[in-house]
Structure 1
Amino acid sequence: MGRRQRRQQQQQQQQQRRGRGSGGWPEGGYADIVKENALFERYYRALGLVPAGEWARFMAALREPLPATLRITGYKSHAKEILHCLKNKYFKELENQVVDGQTIEMPQPLSWYPEELAWHTNLSRKVLRKSPQLEKFHHFLVSETESGNISRQEAVSMIPPLLLDVQPHHKILDMCAAPGSKTAQLIEMLHADMSVPFPEGFIIANDVDNKRCYLLVHQAKRLSSPCIMVVNHDASSIPNLQITMSGRKEILFYDRILCDVPCSGDGTMRKNIDVWKKWTTQNSLQLHGLQLRIATRGVEQLAEGGRMVYSTCSLNPVENEAVIASLLEKSEGALELADVSSELPGLKRMSGVMQWKVMTKDGQWFEDWKAVPSSRHTQIRPTMFPLKDEEKLKALNLERCLRILPHHQNTGGFFVAVLIKKSAMPWNRRPPKLPLALKVKPEPQPSVAVSSETGEGDVVTEAKGEDSLAKESAESKKDGVCGPPPTKKMKLFGFKEDPFVFLSEEDPLFSPIQTFYALDPSFPRINLLTRTQEGKKKQLYMVSKEIRDVLLNNSERLKVWLAFLLSAWKPIYATVLPGLLFRPWP
């Protein structure tokens, strides 16, 4: 017997001992994940989130596959053309089609989504790919998805951007944006008026994971908006940015903030099957603190009168009402929950709860922080419990939160709360102004890093090193150069990032492009930029004047990470993509 034959025989013997066939797969295939979790059922039965008599329907819905949902993306005029094509051509071709002996259910519009721009269907990817009768429809969906005209997005994921009430002039922060489906909705709302190629508003989309930022840029890239930039930062400590207002620098406060925080995800059981075997209350207990820190940082950066939407794909009150209640309590009246019961008519929802309990991963219940033994104080925190003062609890209006249950409209589970900021947060309020005679020039202080405690009205004293750094970079900013601080050099993955250099009015690079595309003389060429100060400029990027202002005012705080560009220029302003991705400069 040769060496190769002996090796093959040994491999077969090992596979047989492991219960695997000749192909390496388990004999009989992998066992299906059992959609049972006794602790999950015990926990949610005890909390009473599901109305009486609906528990069986609730659990049955969780065990069913999630319907595919698609949203027609892009700007309104084009989206309506795609909708007309879908309804009058492809959906009609699906009528009375039989696949595997079953008549295909026709796609239906989501009753609560405006203008029939979102649809759901029970057609699986397997059926779409392998059925000859659906080949044309499948090819249409693939091509339109690649071009950005159609996006597969879970139905409940579409709710938070709709409740933000975005207007074209709003400055928007998306705190945990990746993979970017909600960000895409925000871009569409920003460009609601197609006659305005450069809205006054803009979107700063953030995610802590730089790999997920690539997905985020890919999503934003398809919509070709010059009014978005992507930053890579921890949302719980995202720094304050500066903008120019009336000729002077001011801290940037956002009109709208989307705070879709990381969560345990037990509302996604229908599509993430692993949640069934991995679910435990420990996940919620570990995430509560992070969720509260992110939400707190969000409201610090929210402008007075602004709106922030907090959302999770979890049903757990520890991640939902507990976070909102703690935020409202420490705001001392600066925040209030908005009543959105009349918004999105047709959406079935449950009101937020006023009372809940906390359970450990081993099934032990606690109804009050005082009952928690000191050995568990690092695991369970006071902010996880509802307030004991009935009057204070009632004043929070937690019933204005909304919870989406899967069996009500054949969706995933979700939670949303809409917060309105009435005044500055207590720890950010300005001290009373002193008379001129009492003002004393303070002694120079050490450098103070921007943190989550820096917010409205806070004065940050910078060290002399940073002052000199600002002076050194002032000249380069005059020339439109936006790059990392000259005194620091940082290499990421072995590559040194090049700066963004804005084109001057006299730069000869743009003239041939203007002539070729017959661009109007009013085209804002100063909003064009390149990635090099020396040598041949091979690529041009486009931003709005507001994003340009953010770039030039914050180059020492943000490190340019990478950028994307459309492969070809188009003579429509709104189709030129900036696609900027930033990383904070340490």
Structure 2
Amino acid sequence: MGGGRGGQKRGRTQRKHFKQNKENVWKKNKSSSDNPSSTSATADATNNNHSPWDDFATQNVAFEDYYKGQEIVSVEEWEKFLSVLHKPLPAAFRINSSGQFFEDIRSQLENDFMKNLEMEVNDNGEVDAIRPLPWYPHNLAWHSNYSRMQLRKNQTLAKFHEFLKQANEIGNITRQEAVSMVPPLFLDVRPEHFILDMCAAPGSKTFQLLEMIHQSTESGLLPAGMVVANDVDVQRCNLLIHQTKRMCSANLIVTNHEAQHFPSCVNKSISDNVKTGSGEDVGMSQLLFDRVLCDVPCSGDGTLRKAPDIWRKWNIGLGNGVHRLQVEIAMRGIALLKVGGRMVYSTCSMNPVENEAVVAEILRRCGGSVELLDVSTELPQLVRRPGLKKWKVRDRGIWLASYKDLPKYRRFAIFPSMFPSGRTCEIEMTETDNPQEDFGASGNASEVEIQTDLENRVQNDTIIDSEQSENLVTSGSAVDAEVSCLPLERCMRIVPHDQNTGAFFIAVIQKVSCLPAVFNKNSNQNGQSTYPENKVEKNLSENIVEDTSGVETNVSEDLNHQQSVLNEGDLHIDSLDKQSVLDEGGVIEEDNEAQGAELLEGGENGHEKKREGNRRLQSQGKWRGVDPVVIFQDEATINGIRDFYGINESFPFYDHLVTRNSDVQRVKRIYYISKSVQDVLKLNIQVGQRLKITSVGLKIFERQTSKEGSSSPCLYRISSEGLPLLLPYITKQILCASLADFRHLLQYKSIKFSDFVDAKFGEDASNLMLGCCVIVLAKGSQAAADPIKVDASTIAIGCWKGKTNISVMVSSIDCEELLERLSVRLGSTKDSSIQEVRPSDMDTEAKETPIDDARNLEVEAVEKAVVN
């Protein structure tokens, strides 16, 4: 990843950062319980008859008044709705369906944990400590009736909790809120699809999309599709890379852009050749997507059960403040969508201003070019409610039924698109209107200024509510809201008390034709401006560019306003130290070039960055602080790797290997990319590197750093991530081991040739060339001398052949997980005739094993962990 933190070593995450757990706001605060006047506790906090969670049940009068007025749920179920919101969210997770052991893990959950925990009953009297989510296909998503904190504290659930932690670190499962799993399911993803995840961090949905394109792909092959995962925040991109690295996919690109300004990549010369039918196929002409996931930044009040600190932070201005940004992001997603493609718009908010109002504005702007799909028959066991057709807008303590009720001085903060009709009033703006009141002194709605304005609004709301609350609530219920004529009932609302989940909103939109040739981003279906002209727009540097769908749109390369409220979605990291998740291997920037790099949002020209001391000058790409992706074309190195491992000629190498260092002598890591990613990278180079790429591809080779490694005929070892992809094509430096010897390697990490149970295997191992090798677990009665046949069920690990021993090059956590999988699949009872190898028999001389690489693997295991 480009971008440095001066003087700090890059490329691997330091352990200390993962010890800084996020503050658990559900956890009982001793001082608050001792102090009856504490504002964080209820009046009866000391009542022993109450659940421990009641001590932290907070209230927000503005929240309750607002959602009562919006009639989110009926009056009869309001109390049930509110009571569920005050309970902690049950834990949920998803099995990685493309993983090698996903069937074993599912069977272990169904036949082991479910039965062992069937007598466990939680505080709510619910049985079934764990159960599969009925609406998720093939029992691949699971629900626990316990929150994360309860899982940690319950001794009966200790084994299950350890299983969750280890499987999550390895990538066999992903912890994810249940409702957050829903949007990707409605995208109808196929392996050949090009998919854009516009606001991807923290990455759980991106991981889910990668699973979908890899799920039905044969071993050793890559899907024809790909995923571009984008996020505006650099630090959240790091978190995104951490999450998706566990997937080990060569079909992923991570980018760092404002979603509403995601670049168009169009090569007009190729487009002209395609249109005229002349010339040969010279590659991709433009970057368009078959599927777009538009999970936009929102107020996040649907995650109150997971992040109860939102109770005290919530105010009306949060939803109103992000509405315009949400519309812009969604419209950009539509512009990047292929005709016939599908986009899912979603939020973890209950606010209709962020949900139905945005969808309605999309339909108005696009006219008949898009269709809001009715997906009520899909996932029939998922309990969902139809979208609202009427709602009101509230601003500074006043309920507004239509835009004409809005005071003129507030028309720079409240837009017609927030209302069901989307119509503007005919009253003209006067020169006395002051936009600075709503957009800050600079005239640009910066993140700080927006946040300040939101704070002012909540203070004003508090004052008004305290003085006129009774009148306002009465007037709010008496206001007749507009009713939309659009089919917004096709949207989906998921409310917490229907399925014991969080809240979510989903709308599925299909693009049926190109957008209008002349398109005004601020116009509704009647040609009226939904966003009043103001001085803020005049401050933007606007350029007319041709959209990839043949649409001319106004886009600004400037940061006209920041995303003031980030959609934490699957993981709220408000209080997480941004330094806690640093760059790692997946960011693919070389360690020794990254120190002192300075990360900025964008640089227009390539430049040379000076390094301290004897550090060489590092050539940069368009994006300052981010090294360009370089196609690795050093034939000598490539041929050396191919010959050493005997890699079959059918495996495509050339133009599929990339690095971030143009100096082949200094390349530490080599990454593999799929054909689809290759096409996007080539197009990006042709159009002037418009995409700011922070991570790409799958780490497949890594340079040896140990003393012994430098004496190997091949300086590059196969990485654990890349082994499954290469395994079917390797013909040299590969051996088949018995179950006993394979287990011993995993247990003791290093074994002398003479200490292997199978003497023939030890002899064959001693005859391998010095360096990296692959050990495959024998199947059934397969002998070491038999030809090795690889399929999807083949289990293999990367090892190092030293002068006297074989050492595993797999992290301890991976070894433990693999041993657990073997025990579940093959049984843990060992043959009494097998000679047991003791640690004292092992060769542990540092000179004989690549200790440096082993330690690096240990650190990499820590990098993949997300502290729970």
Q: Which secondary structure does the structure 1 equivalent of 2:417 belong to?
A: helix
Q: Which residue of 2 aligns with 1:10?
A: none
Deviation at 1:549, TM superposition (A): 1.6
Return the index of the structure with the highest Cα Rg: 2
Partner of 1:557: 690
Residue in structure 2 matching 1:210, options 234, 253, 262: 234
Equivalence for 1:168: 191
Aligned residues: 509
Residue 547 of structure 2: aligned partner: 454
Residues 207 and 244 in structure 2, CA contact (< 8 A), matched pair in contact too: yes
Distance of aligned partners of 1:491 and 1:345 in 2 relative to their CA distance in 1, 3 Å threshold? farther
Shift of 1:67: 0.7
- Higher mean alpha-carbon deviation, 326-335 vs 522-531, is at 522-531
Matches within 5 A, 1:12-91: 28=34, 31-32=40-41, 33-75=56-98, 78-91=101-114
Residue from 655, 662, 685 that aligns with 1:533: 662
Q: Which residue is 1:221 aligned to?
A: 245
Tell me the distance in 2 between the aligned counterparts of 1:229 and 1:510. 23
Task: Say whether the 8 Å CA contact 1:405–1:414 is kept in structure 2.
Answer: yes
Q: CA RMSD in A?
A: 3.2
Give the distance between the partners of 1:493 and 1:25, measured in 2 at CA. 51
Contact 1:240–1:454 under 8 Å retained in 2 = yes
Aligned position for 1:307: 342
Q: Which one-letter code corresponds to 2:607 in the other structure? A: K
SS of 2:174's partner is strand
User: Residue 304 of structure 2 corresponds to which residue in structure 1?
Assistant: 269
* Cα distance in 2 for residues equivalent to 1:492 and 1:410: 56
CA distance in 2, matches of 1:128, 1:205: 32
Q: Give the superposition deviation at 1:78.
A: 3.0
1:524 is aligned, of 629, 652, 662, to: 652
Contact 1:190 1:202 in 2 (8 A): yes
Q: 2:228 is paired with a residue of what secondary structure? A: strand
Change over 3 Å in CA distance of 1:552–1:401 after alignment to 2: same
Distance (Å, rounded) in 2 between the aligned partners of 1:98 and 1:345: 28
Among the aligned pairs, what percent are the same residue? 44
Rounded Cα–Cα distance in structure 2 between residues aligned with 1:24 and 1:393 = 49
How far the C-alpha of 1:192 sits from its partner, in A, is: 2.2
Aligned pair partner of 2:672 in 524, 528, 542: 542
Checking the alignment, whether the CA contact within 8 Å between 1:224 and 1:574 is kept in structure 2 is: no
Separation in structure 1 between the aligned mates of residue 234 and residue 89 of structure 2, nearest angstrom: 29
Note closer, same or farther for the CA distance 1:54–1:545 as it changes in structure 2 (3 Å cut).
same
Report deviation, 1:370.
1.1
1:395-414 superposed matches below 5 A: 396-414=486-504
C-alpha change, 1:404 and 1:569, in structure 2 (3 Å) is closer
Is the 1:228–1:547 Cα contact (8 Å) retained in structure 2?
A: yes
Distance 1:321 1:452 in 2: 29
Instruction: Give the C-alpha shift of residue 48 in structure 1.
Output: 1.5
Q: CA deviation at 1:406?
A: 0.6
| CA spacing shift, 1:542–1:449, aligned 2, 3 Å | farther
TM-aligned CA deviation for residue 90 of structure 1: 2.7
**Structure 1 residue 510: deviation in Å?**
2.6
What are the Cα deviations for residues 335-374 of structure 1, in whole angstroms up to 9, with x where unaligned? 11001000011111111111111001x3201111111111
Determine if the alignment matches structure 1 residue 257 to structure 2 residue 292: yes
- Work out which of the residue numbers 204, 210, 213 in structure 2 matches 1:190: 213
Give the partner amino acid of 1:509: T
Report the Cα offset of residue 241 of structure 1: 2.0
1:37 CA displacement: 1.4
SS in 2 for 1:297: helix
What does residue 370 of structure 1 align with?
404
Task: Tell me the residue number matched to 1:417.
Answer: 507
Does the C-alpha gap of structure 1 residues 499 and 136 become closer, same or farther in structure 2, counting only changes over 3 Å? same
The separation in 2 between residues aligned to 1:225 and 1:150, in whole angstroms, is: 15
Find the aligned partners of 1:164 and 1:50 in 2 and give their Cα distance.
Answer: 27
TM-score (norm 2): 0.55
Report the alpha carbon displacement of residue 489 of structure 1 after superposing the two structures with TM: 1.4
SS state of the match for residue 669, structure 2? coil
CA shift at 1:85, angstroms? Answer: 1.6
For the residue of structure 2 that corresponds to 1:551, the secondary structure is helix
Task: Give secondary structure in 2 for the equivalent of 1:172.
Answer: strand
Structure 2 distance, partners of 1:322, 1:241, is 30
Which amino acid in the other structure matches residue 491 of structure 2?
Answer: C
Deviations 1:457-485 (A, max 9, x none): 2589xxxxxxxxxxxxxxxxxxxxxxx99
Residue equivalent to 1:467: none
3-state SS of paired residue (2:362) = helix
- TM-aligned CA deviation for residue 548 of structure 1: 1.1
Using the TM superposition, give the Cα deviation of residue 575 of structure 1 relative to its aligned residue in structure 2, in angstroms.
9.3
What is the Cα deviation at residue 189 of structure 1?
A: 0.6
Unaligned ranges ≥5, structure 2: 1-28, 42-55, 275-280, 424-481, 520-540, 554-601, 613-617, 619-624, 701-718, 729-868
**Contact 1:236 1:452 (C-alpha < 8 Å) held by counterparts:** no
CA–CA distance in structure 1, aligned partners of residues 691 and 388 of structure 2: 41
Unaligned runs of 5+ in 1: 1-22, 430-447, 461-483, 577-586
Question: How many Å separate the matches in 2 of 1:545 and 1:166?
Answer: 18
Displacement of 1:502 in angstroms is 1.9
Q: Name the CA shift for 1:574/1:111 in 2 (closer, same or farther; >3 Å).
A: farther
Say which SS state the counterpart of residue 557 (structure 1) adopts.
Answer: coil
1:271-286 alignment runs, 5 A limit: 271-286=306-321
Match of 1:122 in 2: 145
Query: 2: CA distance between counterparts of 1:250 and 1:35?
Result: 55
In structure 1, C-alpha distance between the alignment counterparts of 2:376 and 2:610, rounded to whole Å? 48
**Helix, strand or coil at the partner of 1:508:** helix
1:488 aligns with 2:606: yes
Question: Per-residue displacement from partner, 1:224-268 (whole Å, max 9, x unpaired)?
Answer: 111010000000010012477733552211110000000011111
Report deviation, 1:562: 5.3
| 2:673 aligned partner, one-letter code | V
The Cα shift of 1:109 comes to: 1.2
Superimposed CA distance per residue, residues 88-140 of structure 1 (whole angstroms, 9 cap, x where no aligned partner): 22332223357999897421111111111111112233443344433322222
**Cα distance between partner residues in 2 of 1:573 and 1:450:** 44
Is 1:148 paired with 2:277? no
Match of 2:809 in 1: none
Give the residue type in structure 1 aligned to 2:647. L
* In structure 2, C-alpha distance between the alignment counterparts of 1:256 and 1:344, rounded to whole Å: 19
The answer to whether the 8 Å contact 2:286/2:683 transfers is no
Aligned positions of 1:78-117 closer than 5 A: 78-97=101-120, 105-117=128-140
Q: Compare 43-52 and 244-253 and name the one that shifted more.
A: 244-253
Q: Distance in 2 between matches of 1:198 and 1:570?
A: 12
Distance 1:210 1:60, change over 3 A: same
Kindly indicate whether the alpha-carbon contact (under 8 Å) linking 2:659 and 2:669 is maintained by their aligned counterparts in 1. Answer: yes
One-letter amino acid of the counterpart of residue 201, structure 2: A
